[in-house]
Structure formats: C-alpha cells, structure tokens
Structure 1
Amino acid sequence: MIADPRSVAGKQLVIDETTRILVVGAGPAGVAAARAAQAGGAQVVLIDENPVPYETMAEHVPQIWGGRMGGAVRNRNAIQEQMLDARPDLMQLFEAGVDIRLGTACWGLFTNQANLGWMPGRVAGLLDIEKNSHLIGFEQAIIATGRRDMGLAFPGWDQPGVMGANAALTLSRLYGALDSKRAVMLGATSEALIAALDLIADGIEIVAVVEQAAASVADEQLVRRIHDAGIEIMLNEAPRGVTSDANGVTGLVLQDRTISCDTVILGVGAVPMIDLLQAAGADCRFDGMRSGYVPALGAGFETSLKAIRAVGDCAGIWAKKSADASLAEAEGRLAAAAALDAIGLAAAAPDIAVPRPERSGDPAGDDLGDYRKAWVHASVIGAPSGTHVCQCEEITAAELLDVSPPHYLDVPRLPNRQRSLAEILGDGPPDPDHIKRLTRAGMGPCQGRRCREQIQALLALHEDLPLAAVPLAGYRSPVRPMTLVAASLPEDPAIAAVWDSWFGMPRQWVPYWEVDEKYTVASLATEKDHVSE
C-alpha cells in the first residue's frame, strides 16, 4: 500500500532551538517568573515584543496607539536604550544570565491536543525585530502578555490622538515618546484613574475625566487624588465627536461643551491580552472580576494546555493588582516554582498567597458587563449612524447589527425585516465569529483589537443579554502581523512537494498514486482529489 503523500505522518518540523522554560512578556510577572526559574537552575528564554516596530504600531497592534507616537519610535536603538533605562530590572536579569530578547514577538503557541497531534513537542513561533521568524521548542511556557485597551466608537475616533490608556503609558513610561501635552481620559474606573495619575507624573496634563455614569465609579481614595490634582470628573457625559486639524485631535466634543485637548485616552476597559493563549486552544472563560475573558487556571497557574501557564494581567486585571506590582510578581514566582517542579528541578514553593480579586464597590470591576454595555450604549449607540465601529473594514453599528454584507461585495443593502440576531444566526446567543464571517467586522489589520469588545457589547445590548453570555470572538495564529517573507519558515521537502493539497485548492491533475491501472470513463469522476504536476 502506497502512503498518502498528503498525510502529516512522517513529516518533520524544523525547530531552530530549544529551551527548558520560555517566558513571554517582560512585565512585573514575566520578569519575576524568569528570575525565579533561572535561580532554580533552568535554562530560560525571556522574550518581549517591546520595542514594537513602528510599522506594526501604525496598524494599532498590539495597542491602540492613536498616532501619538513621537518620532523617536522610528529609531529602534534609541528606543531600546530608553527601555533599558526605564527598566533596570531587565539589565539585572541579563546580568544574572537570562537570555533576554527584546523586540521579539511570539506569534503562536502549539502543543499536541485534540485537533493537533503531530507536533514534535511544544513549540512557539517567534518573530524578531529584524522580521525573521523561527520556531523554538520548550518544556514549560509562562505567558505574561499583559493587557490592552477596549475601543470605543464615536465620530472622529479614527483621528490621530484617540488612543488607549495602556498605549499612552507604554509610549510615556517605556519609550519616552508620547507626543501629547493635554489629554482627556474617558472612563472614571479605578484602572483609568491610576493611568491618569501615572501620566500626570510623566508630565502629561489631564484636563478632564469623562464618565457616562451618574456617579464616580472608582476607589474613593483615587477620586480624591484626582480632585486634589485639580481635575474635574464630568459625570453623565459621553463623547459626541472631536474637533481636529491636519495633526489630529484638537478637542473633545461633549453634549454642551468642547474640551480643548490634543489627545483622547480610552480608559473605559482594560482587557487581558489572551490572544496567544486562546489561539493555542486554551480554555478561556468570562470573569467580570478579572476584567473579561481570561484563561481557566489550575494549580501553578497552569492553563487547560499542559505545561502552558498564564500570569500577570493576561490572567486577570483588577484595581488592587494594577496599583501593586507585587501581586503580579507573586503570580510569576508561583508559576515559576510549578514549572521548575514539572521539569524535575524541585524548588520550594514561595511562601506567598495566590493573589485573588476582591469585590471593591467599583462597578467597572464588580459589574463589568453592565458597565461596558453602558459605555457602548452611551457612545456607540448614541453616535451618528455613519460612525465606524470596525475602522479597518469600515462597518457601522447599524451594518453590524443588520448583518449587512461586506462592502467589497457591492450588494445593495436590504432591510432586515425586523429579524433579531437570534433569528439570523440560529439558536443560542449571538456569536461574534458568525458576525465576523458575514460582515468582516474584526477581520482587518488590527485583528479586532479596536472593535472586539464593542461588538461583544453591541450583540449583548441587541439581544438584552448579559455580556458574559456572548462568546469570545476567536483568535488564530499568527496573532501578530507578519510579512510573507517572515512567514516562510524552512519546510520539509515532502511538504513542499504537494503544497497545494495542504490548502485544499482546486487542482488540475489526478495524483499519480490514484491513477487507475486501466482507463475507464469512471476514472474521469470530477470529485477526485487533484494536485499540480
């Protein structure tokens, strides 16, 4: 019997290097994990995608950068030096012998599971700052990819100067390259006010905080600090647009006033950055106490994928954890101890408690779903109908909820005939992945980072469902933009020989191994698989 050349059986994957423990993300949790793992005797590789290439930042990946990147971000060497000056802990880790790779993104994690059973172990795809891609094998991985910001549509939110809170802090604190002087913060949660105070410390003037709720929703101490700084918290307000010139935003338009500013900061929701984990197949669940969808974690912060652990903000965000980096560091040390034990390097577990969120009285933390829906209702639903929720594909909220076909099909818009999303999409809660396939919302270059949570909230509002009832829109690898050149990894010649069959392409020629011994009319059946010559 001739083996089918299209089978993965016997094919080899080219693995360029291996490490015992791979740590992805060099924030407080990732650095603590790498330090503990290295001290425990393991070979450790620590990667972090910062400094992010300017070309990637222009696509609002991994943050909503909002066009407020100073010219210095084009000079990678200067930004890397600035990073090391801002993060002396990285230099200490390097001097301790940890293999640290800055400007290196992890675009995929792969481990044998139900739908993938031929990997030669556990593998990660890396993309370095020179846009070279390769595969690294690992025994244990600790994912500490951090957070990003929820987008919020209103007229003019596509103008330079509308950016995420985390992007602003990265540019200001890590890169020293935030091109902003006067900013307005949208959102008065504890998370937003912490970000505002950090930006004030970096010399950025926060001229106002805008909140759609009728009362302040943050910790009272933080609210007092904002008032002491002379900043007004404007309640029962939502953006109605921006004024702008050739350089971007010049003001934020509210119901009955316009605030002069050069930057509008989106602080309505900090989102755990789980794209790498979810694309790998990890079980992720909605947890309002942890700021949205997070991986389900077991002992030692292990995800549902054996040997892959999650710590830091990607494992959950809450106000106390944001204000106290030692909580994320504790998660990193606990995960490292479990990873060391798993590879046979026994280490005593740190005598520290597992950090857990507590109810704070902050509606954005305790009732996150209602809070995010309220912001989308106040801003997106209240915006003119032509405002794009998905900027990449230029899709409005009305087109999304009507499930209008993508614009490139040039199909005349048809009335929805009062059908609900449940009737359009079938039984069960509305699924953002269905919406994505039918409208292309979330399929642009930013990979849904600006619209994913808005779409979730819009669907929940349309069907009067809790936010947690709307499934998470899917991620797929690569979770970071890659050029075709970077994506061309070395291939087993046996794979390249029948490359078209791997993509399910219509093929012209009958494979030689399926040619009948004698010619018959039946041998011309069109349903046979074909390959190229």
Structure 2
Amino acid sequence: MSSDPTSLAGKEFPLRGRFATVVVGAGEAGITAALAAAEAGQSVLLVDEHPLDPGLMGMDIPWLFGGRLDAAVQNQARMEERIVAARPGLEAAMSAGVEVALGTSAWGGFLRSASSRALAGPMLGLADRRSAWLVGFERIVVATGARDVVVPLPGWTLPGVMGARGFDAALRLYGAFAGQRIAVLGGGVLAAGVAAAARAAGIGIAAEICAAAPLRIEGAVEVEGIAWQEGGAWRQAACDTVVMAIDTVPNLELPDLLGCPIRWDPARGGFVPEAMPGVQVVGDAAGTAPMARAGWMAAALAEPHAVVCACEEVLAGDLRALRPPRYLGAEGPEAGLAALGPLNQDQVKRLTRAGMGACQGRRCRDAVHALVSAERVAPHASHRAPLRPLPLSVLAALEEDPALRANWTGWFGIAAQWLPHWEPVPEHPEFIGGRLTAEDAGK
C-alpha cells in the first residue's frame, strides 16, 4: 500500500539549531527569563525583532508608529547599537552564554497536537530580512510585551498619530522620533509616562487630554493640531504629533498560535494568554493594567463615519451593517450585527474585510471587538502563521525536505487544480515540484 506523497508523515523539517529554551522578546522580562535558563545550565536562544525592517514600521507593526520615525531607522547596524545600549541586560545575557538574535521575528510556532502528529518535536519559525528558518526547542518563553490600542478618533489615520509603545520605541529604543510638539491622549500611568519622557527629552507638550471627550485630530496631509471640547467650549492646540496613550493590550499572537488558552480578563488588559506545558508567558504579554479604553471606544464608535479599519477603508457604520468594502463595488443585503446573533471577529473580517489589511488587524482589532461585544463579550480573533508580513523571497529561503517541497502545492493531492478550466485533465496527473509532469501535461 503506497503512502500519500502530500502527507507530512515521514518528512523531515531541517532545523537551524535545537535549544532547551527559546525566549521570544528581549525586553526586561525576556532577558530575565533567558538569564535564569542559562544559569540553570540550559542552552538558550533569545530572539527579538528589533531593529525592525522599516517596512514593518510603515505598517505599524508591532506598535502604532504613525510615520514619526526619522531616516536613522534605515541604518540597521546603528539601530542594533541603539538597542543594545537601551537594553544593557543583553550584554549580560551574551556573557552568560545565551545566543542572542536581534532583528529576528518569530513568524510561527508549531507543537505536536492532534492535527500535527507528524512533527518530530516543537519548532519555532524565525526570519530576518534575508531568510526564514526553523529551530527546535523543549520549552518556549513568550515575552512579546503589549501593543498599542487604537481608538478610531476623527483624524487618527493622519501621519503623526502614534501609540504610547510606538512613541517609547521611537524615542528611547531607536532614538529616531521625528516630532517636536505632542498632544497626549489618555489618563493614568501610561499617559503620565509618555508626558514625562517627552519633557525629559525636551519635547514640547501642547495638550494632555485625560478623559474621553469630543475631539478631532486636525491636519490636511499630516497632524497639524488637535481640537477638543472642554466645559462646553472647543479648545485647540497646534502640534505635529498626537500620542494615543489610552491603553495597551497583551500581544497574544504567538501564544494563541501555540495553542495556549486565551481568556477575557479586563483587569489584565482584555484577552490574556495562559501558560501551558512547555509554554510560559511572562511580562506584559501575560497581562497589562486594567482596561481603560471603554469610554473612549464608546464615544468614537458612536460616529458611523469613524474609520475603524484604515487598511480596508471600513467605517463603524459599515461594520454595524456588515457591508462589504465600498471599493469592491458590491451591493448586497445589510443584515446588521444584531440580526445575525453572536458574532466573532473572524466572521466580521470575512464579511467586511476589517482586519485583512497589511497591519494584520493590529490597528482595528480592539475597535472591532468593542463593536461586536455590545451584548456579550465576543471571542478573540484567531491568529495564523505568518505572524509578521514576510516577503516571498524570505519564505522561499526556508529549507525544506525535498519530498515536502515537491508536493506542498498540491491541495489534497489534486494535481490538476492549477490547470485552466478550459484544458482537459490528464488521465493520471502527477504534481511534482510545482507543475504537472511533462508527460502528463502533454497528454
């Protein structure tokens, strides 16, 4: 009995190293975890995606950078020096024998499960600007931190609107903040930290708006100012940057992909991942401060013309009506959120395309969830590999078992799926290395 050539069974996955512990994220929590593992005598790999490819910064991945980083970020070697200087624990980790890989993103994680019994062991997909590869591990520590929550306020899509994490990275991590005068939105520790950092760096502060209020971010091409209502009257302030320091939420993409339980906990920032055997989640990735965005979200989403998904041009009114994007020119029935009963973000994404853009939903995910959770808390959005946008040239460099490469493009082994519908299907087609064999193609 012959085996299915498209099956993963019996295939090998070339690995670029195997480690007892892999730590993803080289912030304070990640470095601490890596040092602890090294001191216990383990082989340790510590990876961090910074310095980012400037292309990712332009797509606001992983934080809301808002087009406010200067040309210095184009110099990768200089940015690596900045990151090591900003995170002195990296040198201590290297001295302790930790293998450190900067400028390296985790695009996928794979554990043995009911649907992947063919895997020989846990694997992590990594990539830099040139290639992608796999490493094996026994234990993984996820220290990916938190991301910015974007509230769809009028004018938020203008260049110059940043998140608190994006501002911190531009100012402290990269030393490449391009603004001169900021307005800070949000109250509490997050906004206070932004304001303190700005003052310490000599950056002017035009306004600090601590509570949700009617406001608009002004500018023709980029941010030029902000206007808000206070005491029944409108006030204005000129600025070139607005820092949205309203809230952050744990980065749960990798834990979700690995199969960690995800639960809703407003006291820890919203959806938070839980540890599981072989997977530990530490730092802000395991939970942040109690949610502070509800009032801001409610005020912003009450406006039907609020731009929720900038990538796909989806408005709040479009989401409530479950309309397909206007640019598709499609006219269809508007069922509305309430008519279809409980929804989740994956359903809404398929119906409206909100979340399908280049930023992979990072800018709109929280606003969409707030909309679909009017009656009850909706499930979290699902995450799939690749967790970061990767050029095809990078993925093409991934080493593969020759037998796997020869058959991966055949969906369930249906060799003729790539033939134009007007061409006859060969009697016994074979799909080898991305094309029908010459013998069959000529029949």
Q: Give the TM-score of the pair, scaled to structure 1.
A: 0.75
1:478 counterpart letter in structure 2: P
Corresponding residue for residue 316 of structure 1: 287
Deviations 1:218-275 (A, max 9, x none): xxxxxxxxxxxxxxxxxxx24223124x5x2110122312211111111121110111
Deviation at 1:174, TM superposition (A): 0.9
Deviations 1:469-526 (A, max 9, x none): 1111111111111000111222222223333323777355468499xxxxxxxxxxxx
C-alpha contact (below 8 Å) 2:429/2:436 kept by paired residues: no
2:402 is the counterpart of 1:493: yes
2:151 is the counterpart of 1:152: yes
2:415 is the counterpart of 1:439: no
2:370 is the counterpart of 1:457: yes
Deviation at 1:187, TM superposition (A): 1.1
Deviation at 1:83, TM superposition (A): 1.7
SS of 2:223's partner is: strand
Deviation at 1:381, TM superposition (A): 1.9
C-alpha contact (below 8 Å) 2:183/2:243 kept by paired residues: yes
Deviations 1:172-205 (A, max 9, x none): 1111111122111111133222332233223323
Corresponding residue for residue 84 of structure 2: 84
Where does the alignment leave 5 or more consecutive residues of structure 2 unmatched?
420-424, 438-443
Deviations 1:275-315 (A, max 9, x none): 1111222211111111111112xxxxxx23x2111100000
SS of 2:395's partner is: coil
C-alpha contact (below 8 Å) 2:247/2:293 kept by paired residues: yes
Corresponding residue for residue 323 of structure 1: none
C-alpha contact (below 8 Å) 2:122/2:137 kept by paired residues: yes
Corresponding residue for residue 307 of structure 1: 278
Match of 1:254 among 228, 237, 247: 228
1:228-243 aligned at under 5 Å gives the runs 237-243=213-219
Corresponding residue for residue 123 of structure 1: 123
Where does the alignment leave 5 or more consecutive residues of structure 1 unmatched?
214-236, 297-302, 319-364, 515-530
SS of 2:116's partner is: coil
1:15 counterpart letter in structure 2: L
1:70 counterpart letter in structure 2: D
2:312 is the counterpart of 1:393: yes
The whole-number CA distance in structure 2 between the counterparts of 1:408 and 1:161 is 26
The whole-number CA distance in structure 2 between the counterparts of 1:499 and 1:102 is 31
Deviations 1:303-341 (A, max 9, x none): 23x2111100000112xxxxxxxxxxxxxxxxxxxxxxx
The whole-number CA distance in structure 1 between the counterparts of 2:309 and 2:21 is 38
SS of 1:108's partner is: strand
Corresponding residue for residue 53 of structure 2: 53
- Change in 2 beyond 3 A, CA 1:64/1:504: farther
Corresponding residue for residue 388 of structure 2: 480
Corresponding residue for residue 402 of structure 1: 321
C-alpha contact (below 8 Å) 1:83/1:175 kept by paired residues: yes
2:343 counterpart letter in structure 1: P
Corresponding residue for residue 167 of structure 1: 166
Deviation at 1:410, TM superposition (A): 1.4
The whole-number CA distance in structure 1 between the counterparts of 2:173 and 2:259 is 31
1:194 counterpart letter in structure 2: G
- Change in 2 beyond 3 A, CA 1:13/1:510: farther
The whole-number CA distance in structure 1 between the counterparts of 2:93 and 2:326 is 50
1:93-242 aligned at under 5 Å gives the runs 93-128=93-128, 130-213=129-212, 237-242=213-218
Deviation at 1:126, TM superposition (A): 0.7
2:304 is the counterpart of 1:374: no
The whole-number CA distance in structure 1 between the counterparts of 2:9 and 2:427 is 18
C-alpha contact (below 8 Å) 1:210/1:238 kept by paired residues: no
- Change in 2 beyond 3 A, CA 1:510/1:285: farther
The whole-number CA distance in structure 1 between the counterparts of 2:402 and 2:326 is 40
The whole-number CA distance in structure 1 between the counterparts of 2:223 and 2:62 is 22
C-alpha contact (below 8 Å) 1:64/1:163 kept by paired residues: yes
C-alpha contact (below 8 Å) 2:150/2:367 kept by paired residues: yes
Match of 1:280 among 258, 261, 267: 258
Deviation at 1:87, TM superposition (A): 2.0
The whole-number CA distance in structure 2 between the counterparts of 1:504 and 1:376 is 47
1:439 counterpart letter in structure 2: T
Corresponding residue for residue 24 of structure 1: 24
Q: Higher mean Cα deviation, 77-86 or 60-69? A: 77-86
Q: Higher mean Cα deviation, 168-177 or 488-497? A: 488-497
Corresponding residue for residue 441 of structure 2: none
Give the length in aligned residue pairs: 421
Q: Give the TM-score of the pair, scaled to structure 2.
A: 0.90
C-alpha contact (below 8 Å) 1:212/1:238 kept by paired residues: no
| CA RMSD of superposed structures (Å) | 2.1
Match of 1:423 among 339, 358, 381: 339
The whole-number CA distance in structure 2 between the counterparts of 1:511 and 1:182 is 70
Corresponding residue for residue 332 of structure 1: none
C-alpha contact (below 8 Å) 1:169/1:199 kept by paired residues: no
Deviation at 1:408, TM superposition (A): 4.6
- Change in 2 beyond 3 A, CA 1:408/1:503: farther
- Change in 2 beyond 3 A, CA 1:399/1:100: same
Deviations 1:83-141 (A, max 9, x none): 2222222122222322111111111111011322211101001112x331100001111
- Change in 2 beyond 3 A, CA 1:125/1:262: same
